[in-house]
Copies of this chain bind each other. A is one copy, B any other.
Amino acid sequence: MRRIPLPLPRAALWALIVAAPAAAVAAPDAPIDAYRRAHEVQILGELDALVRLRSVAADPQGLSDTAAHLLAALRQRGFEAQSVSAAPGTPPLLLGTLSSRGARRTVVFYAHYDGQPVTPSQWRSPPFVPVMRGAPPGEPEQEIDWRKATPPFDPQWRLYGRAVSDDKASIVALLTALDALRAVGRRPTVNVKVVWDGEEEAGSPHLAELLRAHARQLRADLWLVGDGPVHASRRPLLYFGARGVLGLELTVYGPLQALHDGHYGNWAPNPAALAANLLAQMRDDTGRILIPGFDAEIRPLSAAERAALAALPPVDAELQRQLGIGRPESAEDLPDSLMRPALNVRGIRAGEVGAAAANSIPTEARVSLDLRLVPAQTPQRVREVVEQFLRAQGWTLLSEAPDEAARRAHPRLIKLAWEPGYPALRSDMDSPPARAVIATLGAVAREPVALLPMIGGSVPLYLFADLFAVPVIGLPIVNHDNAQHAANENLRLRNLWDGIDAYAALIGRLDW
């Protein structure tokens, strides 16, 4: 799905995710921390090298070079690793397995090595030449030649470069965690598998097919997804699901040509008014979806999920202030409201407004919707319900623009263009592996871990759960203010260091 860079909103989203009281606060893992302190130059060198590889869709060679580099990095750590592609020239998916003697469980760590497209003119420095920046408190930020600096480095420093946060930091944290565990003489408590995607920012068009083709070697007990940022308070976060999504473009037809609305207003159907009325029939002012049967498939929240939501302290007032919102749509707070399906109006267009407005009845009105789905809604079923609703309202549904005969023959014509969409996932927060992940991360985290049953945005977590029938948990490590998808993407060193701790715990301590 399309994403838009939204620095404040993303920050604000994560601001709502706060510590669940259940998660214990503990000290970092001292030996792992010591290893990291002793190897900061080496770790940053690995990340720097990775960011220099231009792994963006516009650069197939850069993606291929990145895959080759990472394949070598995996093999160097003892992985059985392979690079698989759906077709020649498509960015490879990297699969790796590192078995651990005595391990009873197997965990797949998913991340993506491709990055969002770049607009270099918007960057302060070239996106594929990593630059460290930092400043003492209260002084202006400046570039730092970290290779000449003496470690340990200031953890507030940030490394700038495309994909440094999204997701190359997670990849380097995992590799470093393995190095650290080996250096301190600990064997992984789980068998480690990696799935590193080269097409995530392009919508992972071949991921399902490749996962299916390699299902046997991907057998596991748990998936951990190293995508997304932590909470804006800089507390760690685990998320257990994501809403699904289903895009829909509607076109409502009026007269064949724009008509003078003085001479025809009240007689020639006005498609802008029809589209507005249709939207009002689909959704009320509180965001409640009015389409009959739309909520028939919704699975209620579990006790654990309700408890997790209840444990989140209210942040709505601050968000309302930041975003200039006088009244939230619903009576619920933000986390609760995101547990429901949403009918979002992405856009509506008909005629013209302001100085360009002519006194005319437009020929058509276009409405762009995205439906956010929750378990157990399916795109297929939602599509059926919406189409049934439209037919019941007297609309004739089209997949192409109507010809003149069709326009004359039918009183209400609407063209529907559905995007494929995908369903939501809420993984069980109370399963043994989930409890083990929460406890294990909590044991090494510097602050309480925030737990979210489901993020409001859509990530195709369902795919892993559907294909492999295993719990799927989101394990983000990077700072919320990383300018993900925008210019000047960056990674705060503290987040990388904490991320290494997190990965080391989830590889070197996890068991259930």
Residues of A within 8 A of B (CB): 1-4, 6, 8-10, 13, 243, 245, 247, 249, 255-270, 272-277, 279-281, 283-285, 287, 316, 320-330, 332-334, 337-338, 340, 342-354, 356-362, 365-368, 370, 372, 404, 407-413, 455-458
Contact A351 B347 (CB under 8 A): yes
From B316, B359, B409, contact of A1 by CB (8 A): B359
Contact A350 B345 (CB under 8 A): yes
What chain B residues lie within 8 Å of A243 (beta carbons)? 262
- For A340, give the chain B residue with the smallest CB separation: B266
From B4, B272, B342, contact of A265 by CB (8 A): B342
What chain B residues lie within 8 Å of A9 (beta carbons)? 257-260, 263-264
Contact A265 B287 (CB under 8 A): yes
State how many copies of this chain the complex holds: 2
Contacts A283-B273, A368-B354: A408 and B325 contacting too (C-beta < 8 A)?
A: yes
Separation of A404 and B343 alpha carbons in the complex (Å): 27
Contact B258 A4 (CB under 8 A): yes
What chain B residues lie within 8 Å of A457 (beta carbons)? 260, 262-263
What chain B residues lie within 8 Å of A366 (beta carbons)? 353-354
* Nearest CB on B from A240, distance (A): 16
Contacts A279-B276, A357-B249: A262 and B348 contacting too (C-beta < 8 A)?
A: no
* Nearest CB on B from A404, distance (A): 5
Contacts A346-B360, A348-B349: A284 and B276 contacting too (C-beta < 8 A)?
A: no
* Nearest CB on B from A341, distance (A): 8
Smallest CB-CB A-B distances: 8 pairs: A347-B351, A327-B411, A262-B457, A280-B280, A265-B342, A324-B407, A256-B324, A276-B279
Separation of A238 and B412 alpha carbons in the complex (Å): 35
Separation of A320 and B404 alpha carbons in the complex (Å): 11
Separation of A370 and B3 alpha carbons in the complex (Å): 36
What chain B residues lie within 8 Å of A334 (beta carbons)? 264, 267
Contact A346 B337 (CB under 8 A): no
What chain B residues lie within 8 Å of A408 (beta carbons)? 320-321, 324-326
From B328, B344, B353, B359, contact of A344 by CB (8 A): B359
Contact A270 B345 (CB under 8 A): yes
Contact B361 A344 (CB under 8 A): yes
What chain B residues lie within 8 Å of A3 (beta carbons)? 260, 359
A-B CB contact pairs (8 Å), 11 listed = A2-B358, A9-B257, A255-B324, A265-B344, A266-B332, A266-B372, A267-B332, A272-B279, A326-B407, A346-B351, A349-B349
What chain B residues lie within 8 Å of A350 (beta carbons)? 345, 347-348
* Nearest CB on B from A298, distance (A): 13
What chain B residues lie within 8 Å of A322 (beta carbons)? 256
What chain B residues lie within 8 Å of A266 (beta carbons)? 287, 329-330, 332, 337-338, 340, 342, 372, 456
What chain B residues lie within 8 Å of A249 (beta carbons)? 353-354, 357
Contact A263 B338 (CB under 8 A): yes
What chain B residues lie within 8 Å of A357 (beta carbons)? 2, 247, 249, 346-347, 368
- For A342, give the chain B residue with the smallest CB separation: B265
Separation of A272 and B366 alpha carbons in the complex (Å): 12
Separation of A90 and B470 alpha carbons in the complex (Å): 80
Contact B276 A327 (CB under 8 A): no
From B285, B323, B343, contact of A255 by CB (8 A): B323
Separation of A394 and B166 alpha carbons in the complex (Å): 43
* Nearest CB on B from A396, distance (A): 8
Separation of A293 and B333 alpha carbons in the complex (Å): 37
What chain B residues lie within 8 Å of A327 (beta carbons)? 269, 411-412
Separation of A322 and B404 alpha carbons in the complex (Å): 9
What chain B residues lie within 8 Å of A324 (beta carbons)? 255-256, 404, 407-408
Contact B368 A6 (CB under 8 A): no
- For A393, give the chain B residue with the smallest CB separation: B285
Which interface residue of A243, A349, A352, A456 has the most chain B CB atoms within 10 A? Answer: A349
What chain B residues lie within 8 Å of A284 (beta carbons)? 277
Which interface residue of A263, A333, A457 has the most chain B CB atoms within 10 A? Answer: A263
Contact B353 A273 (CB under 8 A): no
* Nearest CB on B from A408, distance (A): 6
What chain B residues lie within 8 Å of A361 (beta carbons)? 344
